[in-house]
A = this chain, B = another copy of it.
Amino acid sequence: MSKLLTVGTVAFDAIETPFGKTDKILGGSASYISLAAAQFSIDQGIVSVVGGDFPKEFLEKLNERNINTEAVEIIEDGKTFFWAGKYHNDLNSRDTLITDLNVLADFKPVVPENYQDCDFLLLGNLHPTVQMDVIKQIPIKPKLVALDTMNFWMDNTLDELMEVLKKVDVITINDEEARQLSGEYSLVKAAQKIYEMGPEYVVIKKGEHGALLFHEDNVFFAPALPLEEVFDPTGAGDTFAGGFIGHLAKTEDISFENMKRAVISGSNLASFCVEKFGTERMENLTHDEIQKRLLQFKLLTQFDIEIN
C-alpha cells in the first residue's frame, strides 16, 4: 500500500455564502486534501499544527477515515489558524474577512519517522521555506512530489518559491497564478516556462472552467461538472489536489495516461465538495455516489468521431 504524506494547514474556517453562514468549522488545506485522498485505499498521514483550542472531534473525523494525524502538532497554549471569508453572489469571488495565522506563524514541520519513506508527497499551499523544510527531511526522493502554491508567495517569497520548485514533479496552481509565475498569457506557453523552473507536470486549475494537465507536448483537459447548485466553493481546489494524488498513490502509476484519470478523479471529488458547507459533503460521500458521477464525467466528455 502506497504511503502519501501531505503537509498543509488544519484550521478553523468561518464561511459566508449567499445561502448561509457557518461558525468555526473544520478547514485548512490538509483537511480537504486528506479527506479527498481518503477515498482511495492508501496509507496517508498529514503534518500540520493546531492550537489547544482545536476540538479533538475534528481530528477524529480525519482519523475515522484512516488519516494519520500523529504529526499534527498541538500547541496547547496557542490558537489554531483561523480564516473567515464571504463569497459574492456568483460564488466566483470572495472577500477574506479574517486571516489569523496564530500557531501557523511559527510552524516548524516535523516529518515523522514512519512517513520519511513516503511514496507520494503533497506540499500544500504554505510558505515555500516550510515546503522546502519538509523536502529536506525526506532522505530518499518519493516517487512523486506535488506542490500547491498561490500568488501570495509569488508576490512575497518568489526566490524561495523558485528554489522549492526545482525539487518538485507536479505543480498545481490556478490560471491567473500560472500567468503571473510565467509572465505568459497563453496557458500553453505558461506551462512551457514553468517546466523550466522544475516541475515536469503542470496542473492549471480553472475553477468552474475545469483543469488542464500539461506534460511535455501533451495536454489533457477535465471540465468541472456543470451543477444545478454550487453551495460553497471552499476547499474545491484542495479536494481536487487530494483526489489527484490519491488516485496516483492508489494505482502507483505515474504515466500520463493515468495522470489523466487522476485529474478526472480530482475533478469528480471537487464536484461533491462544493455541494455543502466546508468538508460536510466529503465526510458523507459513498463509493456508489463517486462511481455514478464518474459515469457522468464520461458522458460529459467522451465522443466518437471518425478521423480520416
Q: Which chain A residues have a beta carbon within 8 Å of chain B's beta carbons?
A: 89-90, 185-189, 206, 209-210, 212, 218-221, 223, 226-230, 257, 260-261, 264-265, 291, 294-295, 297-305, 307-308
Given contacts A188-B227, A189-B228, A230-B186, contact A305 B294 (CB under 8 A): yes
Q: Residue on B with the closest CB to A191?
A: B226
Do residues A188 and B261 form an inter-chain contact, with CB atoms below 8 A? Answer: no
Q: Provide the residues of chain B in CB contact with A302, threshold 8 Å.
A: 301-302
What are 27 A-to-B residue pairs whose CB atoms are below 8 Å? Answer: A186-B226, A186-B228, A186-B229, A186-B230, A187-B226, A188-B226, A209-B209, A209-B210, A210-B210, A212-B226, A218-B299, A220-B300, A221-B223, A260-B303, A261-B303, A261-B304, A264-B303, A265-B305, A291-B307, A294-B305, A294-B307, A295-B307, A297-B305, A298-B305, A298-B307, A301-B301, A301-B303
Contacts A90-B185, A264-B305, A303-B260 known; A226 to B230 CB distance under 8 Å?
no
A133 vs chain B, min Cβ distance (A):
35
Chain B residue, CB-CB nearest to A212:
B226
Distance in Å from the Cβ of A76 to the closest Cβ of chain B? 45
**Known A209-B209, A307-B291; contact A301-B226, beta-carbon cutoff 8 A:** no
Assess whether A304 is in contact with B228, with CB atoms less than 8 Å apart. Answer: no
Distance of A35 from chain B, by nearest CB (Å): 21
Q: For A263, give the chain B residue with the smallest CB separation.
A: B303
Q: Are B303 and A220 in contact (CB under 8 A)?
A: yes
Closest to A256 in B: B299
Question: A220-B299, A294-B305, A295-B307 known; 17 other A-B pairs, CB under 8 Å?
Answer: A89-B185, A186-B226, A186-B230, A188-B226, A188-B227, A189-B228, A206-B209, A209-B210, A220-B300, A220-B301, A220-B303, A221-B226, A221-B300, A261-B305, A264-B303, A291-B308, A302-B302
